[in-house]
Chains A and B, each alone.
Chain A
Amino acid sequence: MSATKTETQPTKTEVRAIPLTDYIPLLGEPEINAIKTLANRLAGRKVMMVNSTAMGGGVAEILNRLIPLLQELNVDTRWDVITGGDGFFEVTKAFHNALHGGLYKARKEDFEMFIATNEQNRARLQFDREFVVIHDPQPIALIEARQGKEGHWIWRCHIDLSMPNQEVWEFLRAYVFRYDAALFSSPSFARQLPIPQYLAYPCIDPLSEKNKDLEPSYVSSVLEKFNIDATRPILTQISRFDRLKDPLGVVRAYQIVKKYVDCQLVLAGGGAADDPEGGAVLAEVRQAAGNDPDIHILDLPPWSALEINALQRASTILIQKSLREGFGLTVTEGLWKKKPVVASAVGGIPSQVIHKQTGLLVHSVEGTAYQIRYLLSNPALAARLGEQGHEHVRENFLITGNLKRYLTLFLHTAAIS
């Protein structure tokens, strides 16, 4: 998740509540009861979660949903956000990219600024909680606040550490070792560590604007708005205009499919307006699309969650032909909507797309085109993949599963049962 710059004032954040009972129609009463039973053992226990931003980015989105649910279950949970100046967030952004394998020339002053800002936050925040969950590298040095072996400290790493810049990783590792446990989004993202590491998939909220059920009339209105024909197959990739998402490869795959099936392609995402590279990629995609009226390139603003939801629901097949990927939550969203998904076997995607069971994995443009054709001519298979994909998400990638995992981890870590 990105190291987004934040304001310098917030500490405790205000969060919006969706009651746990609202999830019963989706998960069933037994699952909600199981969550409540686990939580009863933790009633009154105190938890704090710390990250670097209250708004924007996937971590804040998850915490905005997770913390009210913990509070509803009488697990006294507080959310603190660290503060820092522009320089600190420039350093953490550089660290973030370096941990993803990007180029980075370490500077002594970067590490000093990182430590100093963590020190300032350590002095400002209160660490009076039994369970302390620190999200991502930015606040990792807050572990210095721990008195001896007091409390249970967990580091939740949302980023892929499989090929980190060694200098940055060595610096962070000294802090990681002092936690009681670490959580990673995929086994492939983890490192060899002397502390227990647990799997914690990223998750989606089925009741959010991006994922909730929509009225068919609204879905139709979105198609009309973008001049998309509802009567012909719609192939869609939702992603920002980024070379790593391979939008040009998607256009080439569509062009192959188009020789056999009269279909349309929707490439929808954002990021082009405020990202110079995004603008360049968007221009390349437009050029590759030429004057084909069946290719719809939609550069959407960040507040388009409902429209993206509608486009996914209206699609015949969803594509995620990334060259590299984090976890790939757009795949999760597609599977939740019971759509057949054709996706690259990169990053966290194989955890979600079990080949021929919950979707189809591909490794090339030609393979993508072939699997799309295969699904278009086998609607029964497409429907089965969609159904099983939905179940996979229900079992493994929803916010309620995330909630249950934290409760289980707290119970296990504190040996409460």
Chain B
Amino acid sequence: MKTAEHPFQFEAASYLTRIGNQLATNLRELREGLEKCSDASIFNHTFQSLGRYHFLTEGFSNDFAEWALSALNAAELAEQLAALDIRSYTELTDVRTDLLRVMDDYSKARPNEMERHAFEPFYFCETTEVTVPLGGEARTLQEFRNGLEHLSNMSFHFHFLVSRLRLHLGTNDFSQWFAKELGLEALALRTNRIDVYTHTLDSARDLLLHYVDRELAA
């Protein structure tokens, strides 16, 4: 079994939601908020909310889409906002740009909709992240498996999704380590394809465990 030169460090990740002083009561205000809010706010309502609501595998994508549907019954806009796949982003600036593009397209097509009062306001919030090393390192795939099995949902989310923003690559901590440290390119690719939109964090982790077990058995 190959031993990694650099061990995998599992982290315990925990999050606070900071309530902002900004809210939107219609789509125009949402668009303004999207333009002005911090990156931490874009993160909170996209990457973080996907983790927070991971157990909803039918129809939940991000807070903006959810609000457009539930507070404004704007199904078409909600669909467009929900179609943004956060796995394809490595920079929050790009997420913001695409959210604004969707809003602008909708505004051009349905200008009257922009002032319609929402049933509930949208509150812009930010995520504050705290990470602490979980202790214990993995140098082999077997050790990695043992660590993965004891990883909480938020830690899995941190390594699997949030890592994209940290690495600025279209991949995650696990795949990066498999490929770079263990030379397991196929496992890295398969791991990166796990769809967190149709899996819960629990089932995504179970699937990764299954892939690792197959690799260990090979």
Contact = CB atoms under 8 A, between A and B. Distances in A.
The answer to whether A and B assemble together is yes
Interface of A: 28-31, 33-34, 37-38, 40-41, 184, 187-188, 190, 192-193, 196-199, 345, 350, 354-358, 361, 388, 391-392, 395-396, 404-405, 407-409, 411-412, 417
B152 A33 contact: yes
A409 B16 contact: yes
Contact of A357 (B59, B121, B123, B155): B59
Nearest to A356: B59
A355 to B, nearest CB: 5
A190 B124 CA distance: 12
Contacts of A184: 19
A48 to B, nearest CB: 21
A41 B66 CA distance: 37
Given A31-B152, A396-B52, A408-B15, A37 B120 contact: no
Given A29-B150, A350-B120, A38 B59 contact: no
Contacts of B207: none
A363 B151 CA distance: 41
B217 interface: no
A196 B17 CA distance: 10
B177 interface: no
Given A37-B134, A354-B66, A187 B55 contact: no
Interface of B: 12-19, 21, 23, 52-56, 58-60, 66, 70, 119-121, 123, 125, 128, 130-135, 149-155, 200
A199 B128 contact: no
Contact of A187 (B54, B59, B66, B123): B123
B197 to A, nearest CB: 14
Closest 5 CB pairs of A and B: A187-B123, A391-B55, A199-B17, A34-B152, A37-B12
A398 to B, nearest CB: 13
B188 to A, nearest CB: 23
> For B53, B134, B154, B155, which residue has the most chain A Cβ atoms within 10 angstroms?
B53
Contacts of A199: 16-19, 125
Contact of A188 (B16, B121, B130, B155): B121
Given A37-B135, A355-B70, A412 B21 contact: no
Contacts of A193: 21
Nearest to A191: B21
A417 B55 contact: no
A233 B208 CA distance: 42
A38 B12 contact: yes
A354 B61 CA distance: 13
Nearest to B14: A408
A38 B152 contact: no
Contacts of A391: 55, 200
A198 B17 CA distance: 6
A386 to B, nearest CB: 12
B151 A30 contact: yes
Contacts of A392: 53, 55
B135 to A, nearest CB: 7
A218 to B, nearest CB: 29
A192 B13 CA distance: 28
Contact of B150 (A30, A40, A395): A30
25 contacts: A28-B152, A30-B153, A31-B152, A34-B13, A34-B152, A34-B154, A34-B155, A187-B125, A188-B123, A196-B18, A197-B19, A198-B16, A198-B19, A199-B125, A345-B120, A354-B56, A357-B58, A358-B56, A391-B200, A392-B53, A407-B14, A408-B14, A408-B130, A417-B130, A417-B132
B16 A408 contact: yes
A41 B131 CA distance: 11
Given A31-B153, A33-B150, A411-B132, A187 B14 contact: no
B59 A192 contact: no
B132 A41 contact: yes
A192 B21 contact: yes
A188 to B, nearest CB: 7
Given A184-B19, A187-B123, A190-B19, A411 B60 contact: no
A34 B12 contact: yes
Nearest to B56: A357
A354 B70 contact: yes
Nearest to B156: A30
A199 B133 CA distance: 25
Given A29-B150, A41-B132, A412-B128, A395 B55 contact: yes
A409 to B, nearest CB: 6
A196 B70 CA distance: 28
Given A38-B132, A391-B55, A407-B14, 13 more contacts: A30-B152, A37-B135, A38-B12, A38-B130, A41-B132, A187-B19, A198-B17, A198-B128, A345-B120, A354-B70, A392-B53, A392-B55, A404-B14
B56 A388 contact: yes
Contact of A405 (B16, B52, B70): B16
Contacts of B151: 30
A184 B19 CA distance: 9
